[in-house]
Amino acid sequence: MKRIAIYPGTFDPITNGHIDVIERASRLFDKVIVTVAKNVAKTPLFSVEERIKMIKEVVKKFDNVEVDSFDGLLVDYAKMKNAVAIIRGLRAVSDFEYEFQMALMNRKICDITTVFLVPHEKYTYLNSTIVREIASFGGDVSNFVPKIVEKMLKEKFKQKRNLRRRT
């Protein structure tokens, strides 16, 4: 039986910290499904399709990693995929309380294990929001994201600037 893990997130955009967690998870599980959450509470910069495209490009070096998206309860998606675990990255103590609460709730609903992975310390400060903000002002994000993500961020913010000029 394959040991499948789900790594959910909005990944708007995927960062080097996310990739570090994916790499660690890929060594622990037979298969890791990186899944883009369609979170109605958030207004993402990139569409689900654009995020999937970026993630597929950066995870193609891992033989046991797939990319997908889901809508609804994560535990329902995990059951559908026969997952034994949910992967969550913890950057700081501030992440822990929320993630711990979610892990307990998921276990109560569906008896699934949550595995917390700590990224390399050089990524502990890194998150998608910071990357988007730096990129929105034309800052250099090359140390924080893969090349394809950097390129797509530049294109996205160039489009946004052009739209603002027209209105």
CA–CA gap between residue 68 and residue 84 (Å, rounded): 17
Q: Which of 82, 103, 105, 85 is nearest to 24 (CA)?
A: 85
* 148: pLDDT strictly greater than 90: yes
Domain count for the chain? 1
Binding-site residues for ATP sit at 10-11, 18, 89-91, 99, 123-129
The whole model's pTM is what?
0.91
CA–CA gap between residue 83 and residue 87 (Å, rounded): 10
Binding-site residues for substrate sit at 10, 42, 74, 88
Confidence band, pLDDT 50/70/90 cuts, at residue 6? very high
Annotated catalytic residue: which of 56, 91, 107, 156? 91
Comparison of pLDDT for 77 and 124, the residue scoring more: 77
Q: Which of 140, 152, 113, 118 is nearest to 20 (CA)?
A: 118
CA–CA gap between residue 124 and residue 56 (Å, rounded): 23
Confidence band, pLDDT 50/70/90 cuts, at residue 14? very high
Q: Is 18 a catalytic residue?
A: yes
**pLDDT per residue as tens digits for the range 82-132:** 999 999 998 777 778 888 888 888 888 888 999 999 888 888 888 999 999
Residue linked to tokens 């800052």:
139
CA–CA gap between residue 127 and residue 142 (Å, rounded): 14
* 167: pLDDT strictly greater than 70: no
Domain that holds residue 91: 4-166
b/e burial code for range 95-119 (CB count within 10 A of at least 16 → b): beeeeeeebeebeeeeebebbebeb
Confidence band, pLDDT 50/70/90 cuts, at residue 53? very high
Comparison of pLDDT for 99 and 45, the residue scoring more: 45
Q: The domain that contains 129 carries what CATH number?
A: 3.40.50.620
Backbone angles phi, psi at 146, to 5 degrees: -65, 165
Give the mean model confidence (pLDDT) for residues 153-160: 89
Q: Is 81 a catalytic residue?
A: no
Q: Is 51 a catalytic residue?
A: no
Q: Is 120 a catalytic residue?
A: no
